[in-house]
Structure 1
């Protein structure tokens, strides 16, 4: 009987030990499961924090890009306007390039017409310049830019005649009126004085005769002795041999009231 009781108690102890061991295993598994779950939660938290950090960085970068784009907007707009303007300029250049040969010829023709309508001082020299321009236009040796430059240079030379005082010696040019002779034989070589395009004069080397070119009559008109002296004084001024001074001379041009100007200026 005692043996049976001891065996029963022994079985109960074994069962209790097995139960405790089973509970211990379950507890370990639960702890492991909880640890794994916590690790997953921690990993998820880390991923979330990293994602949030990336999102913040992306937002900051987007803000910077938006600010940069705002700064670039007027620059891009100006560049677009400049490109459009340059395209238009290129179109105009093409149109101008096509029209330029005709324009150059018109400029040369106008220059020749102006010389023909002007007082005939140095006419051969001035017309020779125009002849050279016409020959240049008929040649392909020079570029359009060079042709334009030479034509502008010729025009500047012509315009300068209206602002300069000049003197030179040479054969008597233009028609000679009977009054210019004054009963004496004019020397072949005379001394000229030009005051802009206001007055053109000549005197003989011996100062015995002189004339003023009349634009209205297209001929020389005689000067008296005092006027000849004034022309000679003007020649010395043009040669820098005398100080600038007022010259009392008749003008080659006629003013609107039909009266000749009383004097020219050096």
Structure 2
């Protein structure tokens, strides 16, 4: 009996020690699990952070690639602008050369026009002289482009050319054999330049060969008066008898 109790006591004592060891194991396991959970949480956090950083990295790479594409395009634009600058510079140089060449030409054109007017029939003298003076003043102006100057000179030539196809009448003061007087002048193209006093008592014409005004006989009195009225749109255009000199005979 005593032996059984002793054996039971030993057994119970061993069970208590085993239970204590088991609890220690469970405690250690729980601590390990806690550490594992903490480690996993850190791993998960690091994974999320890594994914975020990877996403940001990819975004940055895309932005860098976009900037590279933009820079390449910008470099092309800059290269094109440089090429345009060179072309513009060359064009400016060419324009400068053209202006140097065309300016003497324009001056010669004005001189030629002035000589033509001086040798032409003496009609609209003040108007034509003012036009020539205006052209010469224009040539001295730096604010007028060479193209505009050339255009104005061509326009002056065109006006002079149109005089040869028009019939005009205007009042003017001329020097006749009877002295200076105010008359009505009739210009018919460049084939006749005639005058008549306002009272119709005197009629004359420009004699190219003599370079002066000469009186006409009374047979021209009515035709010239009608011609003046035609030029002023006061009478319908009709046939006119004009004092036109025939061609000179060359022997």
Q: Give the TM-score normalised by structure 2.
A: 0.60
- 1:160 deviation in Å? 2.5
8 Å contact from structure 2 (residues 195, 204) kept in 1: yes
Find 1:34's aligned residue among 30, 33, 36. Answer: 36
Match of residue 201 from structure 1: 193
User: Which structure 2 residues correspond to residues 39-50 of structure 1 after superposition, within 5 A?
Assistant: 39-50=41-52
SS in 2 for 1:235: helix
8 Å contact from structure 1 (residues 203, 232) kept in 2: no
Match of residue 109 from structure 1: 111
Change (3 A) 1:32 1:8: same
**Bigger radius of gyration among the two:** 2
Change (3 A) 1:162 1:61: same
8 Å contact from structure 2 (residues 131, 156) kept in 1: no
- 1:106 deviation in Å? 3.6
Find 1:210's aligned residue among 161, 184, 204. Answer: 204
User: Which structure 2 residues correspond to residues 4-23 of structure 1 after superposition, within 5 A?
Assistant: 5=7, 8-9=10-11, 11-23=13-25
Find 1:145's aligned residue among 126, 137, 143. Answer: 143
SS in 2 for 1:201: strand
- 1:211 deviation in Å? 3.1
Greater relative contact order: 1 or 2 (C-alpha under 8 angstroms, separation 6 or more)? 1
Change (3 A) 1:28 1:219: same
- List gaps (5 residues or longer) in structure 2: none
8 Å contact from structure 1 (residues 192, 200) kept in 2: no
In the alignment, the residues of structure 1 paired with residue 65 and residue 218 of structure 2 have an alpha-carbon distance, to the nearest angstrom, of 94
- 1:76 deviation in Å? 8.0
In the alignment, the residues of structure 2 paired with residue 222 and residue 40 of structure 1 have an alpha-carbon distance, to the nearest angstrom, of 127
SS in 2 for 1:241: coil
Q: Give per-residue Cα distances to partners, 1:8-27, cap 9 Å, x unaligned.
A: 44652443133213312331
- 1:202 deviation in Å? 0.8
SS in 2 for 1:145: coil
Q: Give the TM-score normalised by structure 1.
A: 0.57
Match of residue 160 from structure 1: 159
Change (3 A) 1:69 1:232: farther
SS in 1 for 2:44: helix
Q: Give per-residue Cα distances to partners, 1:156-212, cap 9 Å, x unaligned.
A: 456334435322333158xxxxxxxxxxx767544321234x333213323654336
CA RMSD of aligned residues (A): 5.2
8 Å contact from structure 1 (residues 129, 154) kept in 2: no
